[in-house]
Structure 1
Amino acid sequence: MEPQDPSVQYSRWDEVSVGAASSPEEAPCCDRLSRKLCSGRLGVTMRMLGGVALFWVIFILGYVAGYLVHKCK
């Protein structure tokens, strides 16, 4: 199945780029920011810090819930 318009490009992540808008310089600000924060060393660091923060949030919520369930009356 061939695309009818040769200026339309489909990537494997189901994003559609039309014509000259596919260049990285013309990408929307949030797309450029997400590419920068989610790839390379900075992306690995951000995911690691996010995982550690999520761990502590779940740990504190579990501690508080356990305290409230098991506290003496």
Structure 2
Amino acid sequence: MQSPESGVHYSRWDDSSRDEVSVAAMSSTEEASCCQRLSRKLCTGRLGIAMKVLGGVALFWVIFILGYVTGYYVHKCK
């Protein structure tokens, strides 16, 4: 019913009506995938803040340039 690599362990006690469910967190770095490690490194801490600031500045300039070019062609004198 449960796969051996899942992090959830379920066991039912025979002598009482209580059920025991335990969830194991993935704490080792070997179990984390490459994308998760990269995401954790690039999106947290000082590097994460710097990436968000740089992304915001780049997005600002892309929108500014698109608006400038669009405005140039819309208001172009004939």
Normalising by the smaller structure, the TM-score range is 0.7 to 0.9
Give runs of ≥4 in structure 1 deviating > 6 Å: none
Structure 1 gaps of 5+ residues are 10-16
The structure with more helix, counted as a fraction of residues: 1
Q: Which has the larger radius of gyration?
A: 2
Partner of 1:49: 54
The structure with more strand, counted as a fraction of residues: 2
Q: Output the TM-score relative to the length of structure 1.
A: 0.72
Work out the percentage of aligned pairs sharing the same amino acid. 70
Structure 2 gaps of 5+ residues are 1-7, 11-20
Q: Which has the higher contact order (CA 8 A, sep 6+)?
A: 2
Q: 1:33 aligns with which of 31, 35, 38?
A: 38
Distance in 1 between residues matched to 2:9 and 2:34, nearest whole Å: 30
